[in-house]
Amino acid sequence: MRTEIKTEADIKRLVDTFYAKVNRDPLLSPVFNDVAKVDWEKHLPTMYNFWGSLLLGKGNYSGRPFPPHAVLPIGNTHFERWLQLFSETVDELFSGLSAEMAKQRARNIAGVFRHKLGLTE
């Protein structure tokens, strides 16, 4: 049963499910694992805090999300796939206003990153 995103456990479920898909994705996995060499044990808690701040107002994220992305070999295709997987994950797990807000926040983030990278949508 799909519910609103209301708790930190919901955020963890969203992030874990999404990044499991990213790690299986033939386009995104090489960027995260081979190029960026993400330390998932460190990165996932950061993502819990990031999305918890955005969606639950917890305010426990501090950092600058863009700089690590600025050096990656990514383009519009990567952003489209990232958004597709994120929206798919949200829709599989959650419903309601919070789910729509999560997808809108992801689109906004992608838009800002694309702009900073000089990409057009």
How many Cα atoms within 13 Å fall on the side-chain side of residue 19? 19
- Global pTM reads 0.94
Ordered per-residue pLDDT tens for the chain, 121 residues: 899 999 999 999 999 999 999 999 999 999 999 999 999 999 999 999 999 999 999 868 888 889 888 899 999 999 999 999 999 999 999 999 999 999 999 999 999 999 999 997 6
What CATH number should be reported for the domain whose range is 8-117?
A: 1.10.490.10
Domain ranges of the chain: 8-117
Residue type (1 letter), 16: D
Q: Which residues are CB-contacts of 86 (< 8 A; sequence separation ≥ 6)?
A: 18, 102, 103, 106
Whose CA is closest to 47, among 34, 37, 58?
58
Longest CA pairwise span in the chain (Å): 40
